[in-house]
């Protein structure tokens, strides 16, 4: 049984260096963001960092895709969040009692659909949409998430000459 990937053994120093760059990038982004405000939502940035630094040449790690996906995820999450608060929904018992489940599923489905039709499919952004339903958030949280994904995209673009696909 093999535990380590053969590619890892061939470029051990390069792989460690690239993972260290990802770690430093997350550290910088998290120092700027108030991670304690909404850790579940900000955790989506960790997933995006994985994609950006392990698959820097993949379509899903392009800045347009990452930032566009986050825009879609935020819009879908906000729409479903506000729908869940709509007072007319209280008359439907199932929706009222299970609003996090119903609107969380709707947020993910809406985000996926819009990302697919706009060509901005970035999986962590669907998680972000769900996080906006499951957790309390503020406008500041949204701003911080965008600061984070834009910062990540810029840092990845600057480091692109030294990054290679690890997967």
- DSSP per residue, 72-134: HHHHHHHHHHHHHH-GGGGGSHHHHHTHHHHHHHHHHHHHHHHHHHHT---HHHHHHHHHHHH
Name the 3-class secondary structure at 149. Answer: helix
Name the pLDDT band for 97 (thresholds 50, 70, 90): low
Q: How far apart are CA 88 and CA 145, in angstroms?
A: 30
Which whole number is the average pLDDT over 109-132? 96
Percent share of the chain, pLDDT over 70: 86
Q: Is the pTM of this model over 0.95?
A: no
Is the pLDDT score of 133 beyond 60?
yes
pLDDT at 4 over 90: no
Q: Higher-confidence residue: 25 or 60?
A: 60
Q: What are the C-alpha distances in Å from 115 to residues 33, 36, 88, 108?
A: 25, 28, 29, 10
Assess whether pLDDT exceeds 90 at residue 104: yes
**Which pLDDT band, with edges at 50, 70 and 90, does 96 fall under?**
low
- pLDDT range class, residue 93, cuts 50, 70, 90: low
């Amino acid at each position: 049984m093999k535990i380590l990937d053969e590619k890892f053994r061939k470029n051990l120093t390069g792989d460690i260096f690239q993972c260290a760059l990802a770690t430093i990038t997350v550290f910088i982004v998290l120092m700027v963001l108030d991670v304690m405000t909404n850790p579940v939502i900000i955790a989506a940035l960790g997933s995006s960092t994985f994609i950006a630094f392990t698959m820097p040449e993949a379509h899903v790690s392009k800045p347009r895709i990452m930032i566009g996906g986050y825009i879609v995820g935020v819009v879908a999450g906000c729409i479903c969040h506000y729908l869940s608060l709509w007072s007319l929904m209280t008359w439907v018992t199932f929706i009222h009692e299970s609003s996090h489940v119903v609107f969380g599923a709707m947020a993910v489905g809406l985000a996926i659909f819009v990302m697919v039709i706009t060509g901005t499919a970035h999986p962590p952004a669907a998680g972000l949409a769900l996080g906006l339903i499951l957790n309390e958030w503020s406008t500041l949280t949204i701003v911080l998430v965008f600061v984070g994904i834009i910062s990540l995209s810029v840092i990845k673009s600057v480091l692109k000459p030294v990054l290679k696909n690890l997967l």
